[in-house]
Structure 1
Amino acid sequence: MKETLRRMQKKRAAGDSGFTLVELLVVVVIIGVLVAIAVPMYLNYRKGAANKSAESDVRAAVSAVEQFYTENGNKYPDDIVAPGTAGASVVFKIGAATTGQQVATLSPGNTLVYKQLTTGTYRICGMNEDGKVVYKYESAVGGSVKKATETDLDTCIKAAAPATP
């Protein structure tokens, strides 16, 4: 028995130590499974964050419109379509006026549309560049920003305004 142990120790000392091919393949398979689980989850988190930024941009636009209304003699700004360019700002104003403006900054990749519907009411719709979720705010209804049932910004803006309560 002692002889067998001495032979095994000599083999280890000779540099025959290391991982077998099967052990290495098992490790590679485990890493592959972990990556296959993690990548789709990461992409879903990014998509959700992008959609939440569009919702936040609509909220910021509502605040800017209401502040414009208050500071400019109870008049709402002109209609706006703001494309989603990185660091773009939405400037709410009437005509070419450079005074009495309100600015809301858009997140990269978000598009925002503001439209007056009837006297004293407006609708703001926004979405991220993935184009799958549209967020809408209607001043006639009030409340919070909600997911729109419409699938694109044009339909969101053209949808019939709700009856004034």
Structure 2
Amino acid sequence: MNMVSRALARRQKGEKGFTLVELLVVVIIIGILAAVSVPIYLNQRKSAWNSNAEQDVKNAQIAVENWMVENNGTLPETSGSDEWKCDGDKKGGLASDSEGSDKLVVTCSPGVIVVVRPAETPAGETVYTSYTIRGWHKQGTKTYYYDSVNSSALQSTDGINKKPF
């Protein structure tokens, strides 16, 4: 208490400024706030990336369903590969197959990859009537799936799964 009374006495004499103890307390408080807020901020960024990927997979589902409605319930034929891949960092975020054909218009946000894969058909048939979608953000922590045959809801798993279905 003696220290406080001396500090108050100096203030009454007209001394201005902060004591070393006051400055140290402020620095410690700022350090504690930074230690608490930085991890929260980083987790929010991961959540935003995951949400971006989830939304792009939902949008791809809508785009594929719209294509199928307009084309008698079938998907377009792929040229050269059996899937359309949308990389948000390339080609303006439009999906295309390995030959560059972009018949199916699916767009992706920057950093997001969405893969639309027609389901297997009987040997010799090229008419696709069902599909699966997989998507993830390059810096995210989840992979999102949709299967038009086995599930009506979007599924997610922890981790990035780039392997085919």
The two structures have a TM-score, normalised by structure 1, of 0.74
Aligned to 1:84: 88
Offset at residue 90 of structure 1 (A): 2.7
- Asked if 2 retains the 8 angstrom alpha-carbon contact of 1:136 and 1:146, the reply is yes
Aligned to 1:114: 116
Which of 1 and 2 has greater Rg? 1
- Stretches of structure 2 that go unaligned for 5 or more consecutive residues are 1-8, 122-128
Q: Percent identity?
A: 35
Which residues in structure 2 correspond to 1:58-77 (within 5 Å)? 58-77=57-76
Offset at residue 136 of structure 1 (A): 0.3
Aligned to 1:5: none
In 1, Cα distance between the equivalents of 2:151 and 2:158? 17
Distance 1:149 1:21, change over 3 A: closer
The 10-residue stretch of structure 1 (102-111 or 144-153) with the greater mean CA deviation from structure 2: 144-153
Offset at residue 12 of structure 1 (A): 2.2
- Stretches of structure 1 that go unaligned for 5 or more consecutive residues are 1-7, 159-165
In 1, Cα distance between the equivalents of 2:112 and 2:85? 11
Aligned to 1:32: 31
The two structures have a TM-score, normalised by structure 2, of 0.74
Offset at residue 26 of structure 1 (A): 0.5
Q: Deviations over 1:16-61 (max 9, x none)?
A: 2221101100100001100110011011011001101101100000
SS in 2 for 1:54: helix
Aligned to 1:57: 56
In 2, Cα distance between the equivalents of 1:150 and 1:9? 61
- Asked if 1 retains the 8 angstrom alpha-carbon contact of 2:85 and 2:95, the reply is no
The 10-residue stretch of structure 1 (83-92 or 71-80) with the greater mean CA deviation from structure 2: 83-92
